[in-house]
Structure 1
Amino acid sequence: MQYFTSDTHFFHKDLLGMSQFAPRPFDSVEEMNELIIKNWNDRVKPTDTVYHLGDIALYFTKPARLSNEAVLDVLMRLNGYLVLIKGNHDSRDLFKFLAAHNPELDGKPKFEFHDVGVLIKYDHRQYYLTHYPMMLGIVNQIINLHGHIHHYAVPVKENINVGVDTPEVSYLDHDVPFGAPFSLTEIEQMVNGKAKAYQDRE
C-alpha cells in the first residue's frame, strides 16, 4: 500500500508545548518521536511505501554527523520504503548521509530521494507531491498533496495538506492517530470532502 505524510519534525524541540506555529503537547522530543514511530508502525507494513513530503527532522549538533546518525536511527525504525521529498528543513547534507547509509530491503533501497516533487497516478487522478503548496490553478483531476504549513489549509480545493498537523483531517469520518501516514483511501476522502465543502459554499 501507499501512504503519505509530511512535517514529522523529529527532534524539533521548539514545537513542543504551545508553540504558536505548530503546537505539539509533548514534554520532550523523545516522547513525540516515540509516539510518531508507534502510530506509524501500527499502520504501515514493512512492504508498504510512504511518501514523506519534507521536513523529516530538525536537530543540530556538532559534529553534524551525530544529528544525521540520530535521524537515520529514527528512520530505520519506521516501517516501509520511504520516498523522501526535500523540505525547507531537510539539508542536502542529511540527504547525502542517508544516501550513503541506504540499506536494501529485499533488494530494494529503503530510501528514495527527490529534490522537488513526485507525480503519481491513482484511480483516474494525478497527485503532485511537493513540500510547499503549489498554486496549480483550476485543473481537472490534478491534486497537490503538500506539507509545510502545519495546522493551516490552503483555501483551494485542489490542495490537500498531508502533514501530521493538518486540519484537513476534519474531512475524514474517523480519527487518525498523530503521526500515522494517510492512506490513499483517506486522501480521496479528504479530496472529496474538501471539494464538497467548497461546492456547498457557492
Structure 2
Amino acid sequence: MQFVISDTHYFHADLLGDNDFAPRLFPNVEAMNQQMITAWNERVAEHDTVYHLGDIALRPHDYLTPAEIAGILAQLNGHIVLIKGNHDYRDLFKYLAQHNPILPDGQVKYTFHDVGIIVKFDHNQFFLTHYPLLFGITHQTYNLHGHIHHNMMPTDTNINIGVDAPERQWVNPTLPFGAPLTFAEVMQMIAGKKKFLAAQSH
C-alpha cells in the first residue's frame, strides 16, 4: 500500500502548544515524536511505501545531528520516498544515503527527490511536492503538498497532506495525529474541500 505525509517536524519544540500555525498539543518533543512514530507504524507495514513531502525534522543546530534524525526514521516502517523540504538539507540526505538499510524485500529503505514526483491513483494524477503548486485549469490532476501547516490553499486542486493540515478534517474516520494518509483518504479530502469551497462561493 502507498501512503503520503508531510511536515513531521520531529524535534521542533517551537511548534508545541495551541497556536494558529501548527498546533501540537504535546508537553514536549519526545511525546510528539513518539505519537508520530506510533501513528505511522500502526498503519504502515514493512512492504508499504510512504511518500514524505518534506520537512522531516527541525533544521539541525548544535544539539541535533543527521544521525539523530536517522534514528527517528529508522523506527518507521516501510520504504520512505523523501522529497526535499525547506527544513531538509543536503547533508542529511547524504547521511541517509550512506546509511540506507536494505529491507526484507531486498530494496533500500530511502529514495530521494529534490523537487517532487508524480503518482497515479484511480485515474487521478498527483503531483507530490513540498511547496504548493498553482496549475490553472486541470482535469483529475492534483497537487499534494505540505509546507503551509494549519492553512490551506483556496483551490480544490491543492491538497495539504501535512500532519497539521486543515484538510484532514474531511477524512472519515478521524486519524490520530501523525498518521500517514492513503490515497483513498486523499480522495476524501479532495471531495470535502470541493464541497467546502463551493459552499464558500455562494
TM-score, structure 1 normalization:
0.94
Partner of 1:193: 192
Which residue of structure 2 lines up, in the alignment, with residue 112 of structure 1?
Answer: 111
Residue 42 of structure 2 aligns to a residue whose secondary structure is: helix
Distance 1:134 1:163 in 2: 15
Deviations 1:140-179 (A, max 9, x none): 1110000000000100000000000001012223201000
Query: Does structure 2 retain, via aligned residues, the 8 Å contact 1:11–1:59?
Result: no
Tell me the amino acid that sits aligned with residue 33 of structure 1. N
Residue 81 of structure 2: which of 80, 83, 92 is its match?
83
Residue identity (%): 55
RMSD value over aligned CA atoms? 1.4
Matches within 5 A, 1:164-175: 164-175=163-174
Partner residue in 2 for 1:29: 29
Shift of 1:11: 0.6
Assess if the C-alpha contact under 8 Å between 2:154 and 2:197 holds in 1: no
The answer for the alignment partner of 2:41 in structure 1 is 41
State the Cα distance separating 1:58 from its structure 2 match: 0.6
Aligned mates of 2:18, 2:175 — CA distance in 1: 21
- The answer for the alignment partner of 2:99 in structure 1 is 101
1:19 offset after TM fit, Å? 4.2
Runs of 4+ in 1 over 4 A off after TM superposition: none
Match of residue 68, structure 1, among 66, 69, 74: 66
| Match status 1:159 vs 2:158 | yes
* 2:50 alignment counterpart: 50
| Deviation readout 1:74-110 (Å, 9 max, x if unpaired) | 0010011000000000011111111111111121010
**Structure 1: runs of 5+ lacking an equivalent:** none
Aligned-partner SS, 2:74: helix
The gaps in structure 2 that reach 5 residues or longer are none
What is the CA-CA distance between 1:13 and the residue it aligns to?
A: 1.1
Question: What is the identity, as a one-letter code, of the residue corresponding to 2:131?
Answer: Y
Counterpart Cα distance in 1 of 2:197 and 2:171: 15
CA–CA distance in structure 1, aligned partners of residues 99 and 20 of structure 2: 35
Counterpart of 1:97 in structure 2: which amino acid? Answer: Y
User: 2: distance between equivalents of 1:26 and 1:73?
Assistant: 21
TM, length-normalised to structure 2 = 0.94
